[in-house]
Structure 1
Amino acid sequence: MALRNIPVPSLPVPPTWFPGHMNKFTRQLPSLLPRTHIVLEVRDSRLPLTSINRSLQEELRNWREKQRVHNNPICRHIVLLNKSDRVPSWGVSPFLSLMEEKYPDQEFVFTCLRDVKDTKKVYKMLADIGKGYPRLEAINVLIVGMPNIGKSTLLNGLRNQGIKGPTPKAVRTGPQPGLTQALSNRVKITESPPTYAFDTPGMMLPFLGHGPSGAERGAKLALIAGIKEGLYQSESLAEYLLYKLNVLNPSTPTYLSILPAGSSPTTNLDEFLTLLAKRMGMIVSGGHYDLQRAATFFVDWWRKKDGVSDSADADADAAFGWGFDFQWPVERQGADIRTLMEECHRNFEDHVETEEREGGMISDAQKEKKIKEERGQARLEKLARQGINPRKSSSTSSKRGSKRR
């Protein structure tokens, strides 16, 4: 029997994870973009909205405007939606139609970057663009996106396609976010036309937000391993994952394949983890089932399963959502998918704009820092009006203190 009432779990406050190397690259980006011809932004197909970095989008918008003013020949912003095998195919066309309407300055392509065919597709796109500008000495490509989204995998794949003979990995890859901690040197990815790419550190949001929306944003990113491991308890992620898989396929959610035969869909985390631990033989001393181990197994299983979407057996009329960012009420089930996606996108944009306007995307610590900076600036301006040079003033005070000692 299909689930109808699927309760939203209570989620923990999202952690702040914005290491120094991310902050450093954020400062480097404005000086790097003027030398860039093509931006390849990698997002996760399951989180096509959540994996948007708003500050990055603002920088790219400014870049496009400046390129137009200076009549630069190439200014392409291509969004690669990676791990396309993890979303049901019935939502791909409506989503592309929506994005092309909302963001005409961007190009959207669904890819699975571990698949050589898709890497070849991206390589051919870059080569075709380059052939249109034979007078350019070289074309520079910047690969950007959130952590652990597939940027380094893309760069290595493009290099293998474009450079003949055995080529070592241009950059390291791994399952943990934050592996790339510095802007890479220019890596040649095609000979003709000469095309070079930069791999970049993942750009996480400095703060994920307050309240339920911030908590859910954090849980989504943690599930795709976009946040440093250990900042979330496995049970919290397992509870949110159980909720989303029930939303995507209320009749036959994909987790049934790892439960004992004959199990039914459930919204109860303890019941689910007990069944999973029983199936996997996860028992601790005293004969109790190891629910924490089962939660970790569940999240790892979902992250590693390949080639099967989270609603593989459900069609558009059976699901309450598509991916982890598009979700509609039960009473809207069966409506036109393009219309449902447009409603979800409008709600998302309205909510983000409200958050930004009300300061919801700035942490309390960031607010305090901003207040201190404003006070410091006001003090400098006051001294300047009084004809006092603050540098000379501080230098004089320092010398006086030195004489006393």
Structure 2
Amino acid sequence: MSIQWFPGHMNKARKQVEEILPQIHLIIEVLDARIPFSSENPMIAKLRGDKPCIKVLTKSDLADPVMTQQWIDYLDKKKGVKALALTTEQPEKTQGLIDLCRKMLPGKDQGHNDIHVMIMGIPNVGKSTLINTLAGKTIAKTGNEPAVTKGQQRINLRNGIMLFDTPGMLWPKVESEKGSYRLATTGAIKDTAMSYDDVAFFAADFLLKHYPALLMARYQLDELPTTELDFLELIGKKRGCLRAGGKVDLEKISTILLNELRSGTLGRITLENPEETERETVIVKQLIAEKEAKKAARKKNRKKGKSS
């Protein structure tokens, strides 16, 4: 399943970014530390070109710390890219981001003009929270749902950094099925874009395989079922999520599971690793190439049909 969710204001934001990019010296791309790959917008990579980029992994207090370090090491290997993990619980660490901006642009820092930094990212990754922390006051509107910021704004941090904020942007089509589910699991995609039950089944399957101890501790289980359906029905009964006749209300228990995962109540969880996502990238590229080849073949056949 691929997701197509590209509201009009996002398309407008993309055009605004293209217009202002010539003035920008450095890009900060905000990623969700729980899904650093799936929350990385390929459209941003195309837009920024060879401009230096800092990948900021926010919500790191919700992510698996071992996996977060793996992701930082992985991202640091990319040309022109540095990675940094931040959390709202330690706002003092954001000074490290300012220092890193200056370090990546040593020539600019010596002049009298501000360093122009554009902050970008998909919806609901904590971009507005990061901006408010950097500014030391509430400037950007925050909310626990995607697409809160709708316009572009310029923020003078008064420390030699001029910050250009942009609305959260998804790319027009999320081709990776697993990537779509990860985005939905963390709440980056609006809950109306995918079935809540489907997303919960994906999350339950992943958690059973990768974080069984957290599930057993949270739901006070001595052992775990082998399937996601059995797991959801088991915890649904324990939580009293029942319909008439004693059947488990899957939508209700799905909501509980996803809310507890998103809030960190289940524990610190990361939904992907670098090796796995590299394999997924290869598969997705192959699928796109096959689609393009079929599209070209159909176009060629139509031309032949018209000429005959």
TM-score (norm 1): 0.66
Counterpart in the other structure of 2:249 = 290
1:96-144 deviation line (CA, Å, top 9, x unaligned): 333333x121111122245313333324434666886232322221110
Tell me if the contact between 1:242 and 1:267 (Cα under 8 Å) persists in the aligned partners: no
Counterpart in the other structure of 1:256 = 216
Give the Cα–Cα distance (whole angstroms) in 1 for the partners of residues 159 and 255 of structure 2.
47
Structure 1 alignment gaps of length 5 or more: 1-12, 65-74, 161-166, 311-322, 327-340, 376-405
Give the Cα–Cα distance (whole angstroms) in 2 for the partners of residues 77 and 23 of structure 1.
22
DSSP-derived class of the 2:191 partner: coil
The equivalent position to 1:144 in structure 2, one of 93, 106, 120, is: 120
Tell me which amino acid in the other structure corresponds to 1:292.
Answer: E
Counterpart in the other structure of 2:155 = 187
The equivalent position to 1:303 in structure 2, one of 262, 265, 269, is: 262
Matched, 1:268 2:227: yes
Matched, 1:112 2:87: yes
Give the Cα–Cα distance (whole angstroms) in 1 for the partners of residues 277 and 250 of structure 2.
36
Deviation at 1:257, TM superposition (A): 3.0
Counterpart in the other structure of 1:315 = none
Matched, 1:279 2:238: yes
Tell me if the contact between 2:36 and 2:71 (Cα under 8 Å) persists in the aligned partners: no
Tell me which amino acid in the other structure corresponds to 2:31.
Answer: R
Counterpart in the other structure of 1:353 = 285
Structure 2 alignment gaps of length 5 or more: 304-308
Tell me which amino acid in the other structure corresponds to 1:187.
Answer: I
Deviation at 1:152, TM superposition (A): 0.7
Counterpart in the other structure of 2:29 = 41
User: Mean Cα displacement is larger for which, 148-157 or 277-286?
Assistant: 277-286
Deviation at 1:57, TM superposition (A): 0.5
**In the TM superposition, what are the counterparts of 1:82-101 in structure 2 within 5 Å?**
82-101=58-77
Tell me if the contact between 2:204 and 2:232 (Cα under 8 Å) persists in the aligned partners: no
TM-score (norm 2): 0.85
Tell me which amino acid in the other structure corresponds to 1:256.
Answer: M
Deviation at 1:301, TM superposition (A): 0.8
1:147-198 deviation line (CA, Å, top 9, x unaligned): 11111111111000xxxxxx4x2111101101111212x1122x232x2212
Deviation at 1:33, TM superposition (A): 1.1
Give the Cα–Cα distance (whole angstroms) in 2 for the partners of residues 112 and 306 of structure 1.
16
1:54-92 deviation line (CA, Å, top 9, x unaligned): 12211112xx2xxxxxxxxxx531001122233333334
CA spacing shift, 1:113–1:119, aligned 2, 3 Å: farther
Tell me if the contact between 2:62 and 2:263 (Cα under 8 Å) persists in the aligned partners: no
Instruction: Percent identity, please.
Output: 25
Tell me if the contact between 2:56 and 2:86 (Cα under 8 Å) persists in the aligned partners: yes
Deviation at 1:255, TM superposition (A): 2.1
DSSP-derived class of the 1:140 partner: strand
